[in-house]
Structure 1
Amino acid sequence: MKVNYTGFQASEVSPYLEVHQALKAADHRNGKPDVLAYTSVARMNPYQALLYRSFPDHGFAVAPLLKPFELRDLMLHKSRASSITLHLHWVNWVLAGEPDAQRAQTKVSGILGRIDRFKQLGGKLVWTAHNVYPHDAAHLEAELALQQGIADRSDVIHTMAASTTAALAEYTNVDAQKVLVAPHPHYRGAYEDVTSRAEARAVLGIDDDETVFLVFGALKEYKGLLRTLEAFDQLLDQDPSGRYRLLVAGGADDHPDVQEFISRGLLHDRVLMEPSKIPGSKAQYFLRAADAGLVTYTRSLNSGAALLYQSFGLPVLATDTPVLRETLPPHTALFLDANAAVDEYAAQLKALRALARSTTQTDVLDGIAHLDPSAVSSTFAQDLRSRLGLRQH
């Protein structure tokens, strides 16, 4: 029999199959497992795998929900499970590609109705607040109505920092009694990491004496890419002997600002760019070649990229938000106001070079040691069981 990689591609019998397989693989020695089905499913980013790493040890059967509209099928397993919980992560799938504002509102009402029916049948709901609202929101009013509806219906609202609730307040009213804080785990060991700095630089064509600033991950307008390029150019003008390099890697969308950034970057002799999705095995070349990472977004809540940089021992320059201040160790990070002028941004880039030279990888890794994925996952699983009123495992 050929392996079919259940949970990686939806089939005709999804999501029944994924929950069935999760229950079969679960430990039943302490009774029926508690099913936790999560969506949307992100395979390129190992965040979810890290977050749920220890859940099986705490009585959960974790299953990907590849067809998120098919909530009713989750309850087909009610007799086989002690409980069934739906964990919503990013919810941009609800309105993705919808051009009409009125139809967007109808879709919001529809999915909230399905969630209501799921809960009426005994299901529990958890929502993780990843962003203040979806990055590519075309119908902001509808997206915020959806987000508020989910927050109102959630039994638990998972945030990655205590300051998230205040950051959301402008857009979504969150009941503080529902909030459960579980930090973003670091990525140490989640990506292939066998190459050296020298080999990585040789592969990419970067000299040993260059200071390399890295922008890694999806290239989106909200990441302020053009402002980053302008600040980098100003730094080159101010310090022409500095030997700086801007390294960019990640899949690009079709926003005009992103396309302009790519066009200018490809012609820039101090910018090295790979504007396409980077396989996990190749991420190490960009991360090991860099001296520091940039997460200077114009709109930001949490940042997996910041922790990815730090997981490879890199100091970062990040947008100055309460959540990122709470997340990043102060001795390994610098901060920049989201509305800072280009000259201030350039000055912080120069300061980042000094920080990179004075900070060791050990300094950075020690600062995120408390974000060990197994420990974060185990604590989250235990706390979630308690908050959902599940029997102790």
Structure 2
Amino acid sequence: MKLFAAPAFSNEKVNPYNALLYRELQQLGVEVEEYRHSKALRTPADIVHFHWPDGDINRASLGKSLQRMLLMIAMVCLFKWRGTKILWTVHNTAPHDARRPQLSNTFMQWFARRCDGFIFMSEANRAAFYQHYNPSPHSHYAIIPHGHYRSCYPPAIDSLSAKTRLGLDPTKKVLLFIGMIKPYKNIDGLMQAFNQIALGDYQLVIAGTADTAPPELRSALETLKNNRTQLFLRFIPDDELAVFMSAADTVILPYKAILNSGALLLALSYNRPVIAPHMGAVAELQKKLGRQWIYGYASDLTPTSLTHALLALEHSNRPEACPLDSYSWDKLAAQTLDFYRQSGTPAHTVATATPSDKPH
């Protein structure tokens, strides 16, 4: 089986999800190549597997965006003519930061109608997709969850040593947000809520690059900073990521909207409990792994909901390691390969993990 993946390995330093999946698929005998228009034009493949198909058209220049969109449309038409199967792993129903949402939505509606199959990471992911899109009646889908990141990043170190290395107060617990700073992630809302809670034994740490954030958001974060908050507004390399995770007592994802989140699996891979909105994959993972690992809050993040979440996790009994065996990449790659092999099945046949393979 020959497969072009967009992307396969090229984004590994930013997000190792794809590389972890496709290396396991290579171990299962799948011939995986990085997708390039020029290569796909010359060399037929059995499957083209897209992850963020609108990414290439989200350019600053409208002319460049239209050019890339027309090229993508031409390639999709070529794949359909050749009989190449087109699959899409739907990480997000709609992009968080599209420069031209209407143009992006028009293209994605067109693209979805021409896909032969979809991979979703949760049932909520699937439901949101079918509310938004009207795919071909001949398409089918699989629900295959996000994998963990154990053995992918440097190991954890002693918590006290980690706090000392970061210049944090070693006597206080750490509530950590780590990741790129973007408006939809609601970091300013988190800081406002944290500034109003009465738990003086906590310090808030915000770590991640704000290079692509609006200037007014970065200015707001600097304004909201006080002596209980530390800002590390820069790119966090892998070795430092392990230090931040080791220093954390709890990780928080205060997003305004969340469907799937690699950051959630990253925190759990370091055996850190997580606070996040009770929606999408967060709710499903909470049900499977337990509220002692994932505290999902309803509605908006407020000082009250943040306080309740911190106290609940503080008084929860957890094993030393979060049970993530069902989210290992060898198992997820096997499920993905099964879906590839079923890519020509009738529309009513749904490829999902068998009961014995589903995470518990």
For Structure 1 versus Structure 2, the TM-score category normalised by the shorter chain is 0.7 to 0.9
Deviations 1:263-302 (A, max 9, x none): 235x421111211111112110110100111112112210
Write the mapping of 1:1-393 to structure 2, written as runs, cut at 5 A. Answer: 33-39=1-7, 41-43=10-12, 44-65=14-35, 67=36, 70=37, 72-78=38-44, 83-100=45-62, 104=65, 107-174=68-135, 177-235=139-197, 238-239=198-199, 242-252=200-210, 253-264=212-223, 267-328=225-286, 329-331=289-291, 332-337=293-298, 339-340=299-300, 345-359=302-316, 362=319, 365-366=322-323, 368-388=324-344
Deviation, structure 1 residue 361: 5.8
Please give the alpha-carbon distance, in whole angstroms, between the structure 2 residues aligned to 1:54 and 1:114: 27
Normalised by the size of structure 2, how large is the TM-score? 0.85
Task: Decide which moves more: 121-130 or 91-100.
Answer: 91-100
The 3 A distance-change label for structure 1 pair 351 and 140 is: same
Q: Give the residue type in structure 2 aligned to 1:259.
A: R
Deviation, structure 1 residue 183: 0.6
Deviation, structure 1 residue 112: 1.8
Q: CA RMSD in A?
A: 2.4
Question: In structure 2, the residue corresponding to 1:49 is in which secondary structure?
Answer: helix
Q: Give the residue type in structure 2 aligned to 1:387.
A: S
Please give the alpha-carbon distance, in whole angstroms, between the structure 1 residues aligned to 2:122 and 2:136: 15
Deviation, structure 1 residue 322: 3.5
Q: Give the residue type in structure 2 aligned to 1:293.
A: V
Please give the alpha-carbon distance, in whole angstroms, between the structure 1 residues aligned to 2:239 and 2:86: 35
Deviation, structure 1 residue 356: 3.5
Deviations 1:54-77 (A, max 9, x none): 212332111223x4xx2x532533
Please give the alpha-carbon distance, in whole angstroms, between the structure 1 residues aligned to 2:130 and 2:219: 33
Deviation, structure 1 residue 38: 2.4
Deviation, structure 1 residue 375: 1.5
The 3 A distance-change label for structure 1 pair 319 and 93 is: same
Deviation, structure 1 residue 208: 3.4
Contact 2:258 2:280 in 1 (8 A): no
Deviation, structure 1 residue 360: 5.7
Contact 2:260 2:280 in 1 (8 A): no
Contiguous gaps of at least 5 residues in structure 1: 1-32
Please give the alpha-carbon distance, in whole angstroms, between the structure 2 residues aligned to 1:290 and 1:257: 28
Q: How many residues align?
A: 338
Q: Give the residue type in structure 1 aligned to 2:4.
A: L
Question: In structure 1, the residue corresponding to 2:49 is in which secondary structure?
Answer: strand
Contact 1:104 1:142 in 2 (8 A): no
Deviation, structure 1 residue 203: 0.3
Q: Give the residue type in structure 1 aligned to 2:110.
A: G
Contact 1:34 1:59 in 2 (8 A): no
Partner in structure 1 of residue 353 of structure 2: none
Please give the alpha-carbon distance, in whole angstroms, between the structure 1 residues aligned to 2:248 and 2:240: 14
Contiguous gaps of at least 5 residues in structure 2: 346-360
Please give the alpha-carbon distance, in whole angstroms, between the structure 2 residues aligned to 1:289 and 1:361: 18
Please give the alpha-carbon distance, in whole angstroms, between the structure 2 residues aligned to 1:174 and 1:360: 44
Q: Give the residue type in structure 2 aligned to 1:324.
A: V
Question: In structure 1, the residue corresponding to 2:92 is in which secondary structure?
Answer: coil
Deviation, structure 1 residue 200: 0.7
Q: Give the residue type in structure 1 aligned to 2:49.
A: H
Contact 1:39 1:88 in 2 (8 A): yes
Deviations 1:296-341 (A, max 9, x none): 211221011111111111111111214321133232211223x52x
The 3 A distance-change label for structure 1 pair 48 and 107 is: closer
Question: In structure 1, the residue corresponding to 2:227 is in which secondary structure?
Answer: coil
